[in-house]
Amino acid sequence: MSQLTVSFDNQKPLLCDVNLKVGKGETFVIVGPSGAGKSVLIKTIAGLVRPSSGKVLIGGEEIHRLSKSDQEKLFRRMGMVFQKNALFDSFTVFENLAFPLRESSDLSDSEIQDRVNWFLEAVGLPHAAQKFPDEISGGMQKRVGVARALILKPEIIFYDDPTAGLDPITSRLIIDLIIRLNKEFKTTVVSITNDMNRAYQMADRMGLLTDRELIVTGGVAETQKHSDRRVQAFIRGEVRIA
Amino acid sequence: MVIITPAIRILDGVGGGLMFLGEIIRTLRKYKIDREAILTQIYNISMASFFTTASSGFFVGALMSVQFNMQLRQFGALSVLGGLSTSATVRELGPLLIAFMLSGKVGAYTSAELGIMRVTEQIDAMRCLGTNPMQYLVAPRFLGIIISAFFLLFLGLLMSILGGVILATLVADLSPSEFINTIPMYVEGHSVLSGLFKCLCFSVLLATVCTYKGYTTTGGAKGVGKTVLATALATMVGLVLLDWFTTYLAGVLLDTWRAITI
């Protein structure tokens, strides 16, 4: 993406001239204080929020300029895990996973069943298949969200704060799961979090979103030694809430 | 500014609603809509609102019968009670009052349902899975509401005649046959067509407003609350304005038709 600016209702821009390039198969983690615009940034990259200016290219295609049908085709090559999971509350866990396969693939019913069962096993939830989202815990919902986002085997996946609201042990397990599945499917990952430990755990490269700009800090070691005082302040937990 | 700002907001809402209707029509033309999803919507809406519509239709008819009885009794013209009260009910008050009832039930339910899906990001999730929410969520609801609301309004009108007959028997000492026999004198084919045309227009308005308001909800629980309120308000004001417009249009069409045929 280049020169990305996002503002709402003609107000002061939330993001200003943000530039980023993520390579194929890379895991890029965006960290930053609450309210800095991380979710808006990832939703803009994923095509859900239209930027005021600038462009986002995914595989050479400018996502916000595509026709609806071309956008739908591109969306099928991407996956997204939402901060609050966004599971379909009128569907069971099984139906949540089967939905994208039924709507966006040519798989037969038995193939859908097999693939859903494989993913339920992979995220450790075969026993929850017939439960509704409000009948399972937050950590389990997150795992269903991860499985649903990966079930179409996307090339790119976006994680909007995948450990938000989870305890440290569950957070670590979720990140382990994400890393394992991403390695298995060789997906390109863009993730956001405000938990530095989880960011270090999964990132190939990182960036700090603060003061409406994205500071690309590099790998974990480079980030830890980065010269920008805002990066160091955030790592040490000294940054003020935006 | 006190008048201009709300006026701009109203125009913005009307424009947004019309553009949304255009988007639904484009979706209906371009995409295949799941028949089972439409039938499910029709079944759910019809079953949930059957009793409400039937009873409100019954009481609208009963009310008109009582009101006309009081007026006509003064002129000794009770013999035309059936024709006059049924004509007024079928052409005017019946579709409007029954549509009000439906807007409270179907409109509020649908806008809240879509609104909650919007604020909990379920609609965004659907898009991210390569599914078109207009095709999967909005279009089946839109068609389901139009078909079931039209059916329910028609049912309500039939029930209003029944209500009129029963109350006329009770308060005006008219036999059912005396009531019914005068109906064809005042309720002609064009009156029925006008009533049915209104029902169709009201159904389209109701379906458009509640899906538009629900789909464009912003904010959390408060946003959903505002959406339901805005849906109720927009639908009721819209129904009154549309009632006036369809009456005017029906009058113009009838005059034109008479001028051609006579």
Q: Do A152 and B130 touch (CB under 8 A)?
A: yes
Tokens of B149: 């609301």
What pLDDT, on the 0 to 100 scale, is given for residue B20? 96
Is residue A115 within 8 angstroms of chain B, CB to CB? no
What pLDDT, on the 0 to 100 scale, is given for residue B1? 64
Is residue A157 within 8 angstroms of chain B, CB to CB? no
In DSSP notation, B114-158 reads HHHHHHTTHHHHHHHTT--HIIIIIHHHHHHHHHHHHHHHHHHHH
SS3 A146: helix
Specify whether the CB–CB gap between A241 and A33 falls below 8 A. Answer: yes
Between CA A212 and CA A220 the distance in angstroms is 22
Of B121, B122, B130, the CB nearest to A75: B130
Specify whether the CB–CB gap between B246 and B194 falls below 8 A. Answer: yes
Between CA B230 and CA B210 the distance in angstroms is 9
Between CA B59 and CA B100 the distance in angstroms is 14
Distance from the Cα of B62 to chain A's closest Cα (Å) equals 40
Q: Do A80 and B122 touch (CB under 8 A)?
A: no
Is residue A12 within 8 angstroms of chain B, CB to CB? no
In the sheet where A53-55 sits, what is the strand order? Answer: A15-18, A2-6, A53-55
Q: If you count residue pairs, one on A and one on B, with CB atoms under 8 Å apart, how many are there?
A: 56
Q: What is the value of ipTM here, to two decimals?
A: 0.86
Burial status of residue A123 (CB atoms within 10 A of its CB: 0-12, 13-18, 19 or more):
buried
Specify whether the CB–CB gap between A239 and A230 falls below 8 A. Answer: yes
Between CA A36 and CA B225 the distance in angstroms is 28
- Chain A positions in Cβ-Cβ contact with residue B125 (cut-off 8 Å): 80, 82, 86-88, 148
Of A68, A78, A88, the CB nearest to B128: A78
Tokens of B45: 């809406």
Rg value, chain B, Cα:
21
In which region does residue B137 sit, left (phi positive, over 0), alpha (psi from -120 to 50) or beta (all else)? alpha
Specify whether the CB–CB gap between B219 and B115 falls below 8 A. Answer: no
Between CA A208 and CA A159 the distance in angstroms is 16
Q: Do A89 and B130 touch (CB under 8 A)?
A: no
Q: What is the pTM of this model?
A: 0.85
Q: Which residue has the tokens 């390569």?
A: B130
Distance from the Cα of A111 to chain B's closest Cα (Å) equals 18
pLDDT along chain B (262 residues), means of 10: 80 92 95 93 92 91 90 85 88 86 90 95 92 94 94 90 91 87 84 85 94 94 94 94 89 83 73
- Chain A positions in Cβ-Cβ contact with residue B128 (cut-off 8 Å): 46, 48, 75, 78-80, 149
Specify whether the CB–CB gap between B38 and B144 falls below 8 A. Answer: yes
Nearest Cα neighbor of B133 from B142, A51, B147 is B142
Between CA A20 and CA A16 the distance in angstroms is 12
Specify whether the CB–CB gap between B218 and B124 falls below 8 A. Answer: no
Is residue B132 within 8 angstroms of chain A, CB to CB? yes
Express each pLDDT in B92-136 by its tens digit. Answer: 888 888 888 888 889 999 999 999 999 999 999 999 998 999 999
Of A48, A76, A82, the CB nearest to B130: A76
Distance from the Cα of B235 to chain A's closest Cα (Å) equals 27
Tokens of B158: 């039939």
Is residue A43 within 8 angstroms of chain B, CB to CB? yes
Between CA A121 and CA B108 the distance in angstroms is 40
Is residue A86 within 8 angstroms of chain B, CB to CB? yes
Between CA A174 and CA A99 the distance in angstroms is 22
Q: How many helices and strands (H and E) does chain A possess?
A: 9, 11
Is residue A68 within 8 angstroms of chain B, CB to CB? yes
Specify whether the CB–CB gap between A215 and A207 falls below 8 A. Answer: yes
Strand partners, A156: A78, A188
What pLDDT, on the 0 to 100 scale, is given for residue B136? 93
Q: Which residue ranges of chain A lie beneath pLDDT 50?
A: 241-242
Tokens of A125: 């939830």
The number of angstroms, rounded, from the C-alpha of B61 to the middle of its chain's C-alpha atoms is 17
Which chain B residue's Cα is nearest to A87?
B122
Nearest Cα neighbor of A83 from A168, A3, A142, A169 is A142
- Supply the DSSP symbol for B32: P
Q: Do A89 and B122 touch (CB under 8 A)?
A: yes
Between CA B214 and CA B227 the distance in angstroms is 6
What pLDDT, on the 0 to 100 scale, is given for residue A240? 57
Other CB atoms within a 10 A radius of the CB of residue B245 amount to: 12
Nearest Cα neighbor of A167 from A137, A123, A147 is A137
Q: Do B130 and A72 touch (CB under 8 A)?
A: yes
Is residue B136 within 8 angstroms of chain A, CB to CB? yes
Q: Do A84 and B122 touch (CB under 8 A)?
A: no
Is residue A73 within 8 angstroms of chain B, CB to CB? yes
Buried-state track B187-204, b at ≥16 Cβ within 10 A, e below 16: beeebeebbbbbbbbbbb
Distances (CA, A) of A91 to A77, A112, A129, A133, B45: 23, 16, 10, 8, 20
Between CA A5 and CA A35 the distance in angstroms is 16
Phi, psi of B130 (to 5 degrees): 80, 15
Distance from the Cα of B129 to chain A's closest Cα (Å) equals 6
Burial status of residue B152 (CB atoms within 10 A of its CB: 0-12, 13-18, 19 or more):
buried
SS3 B228: helix
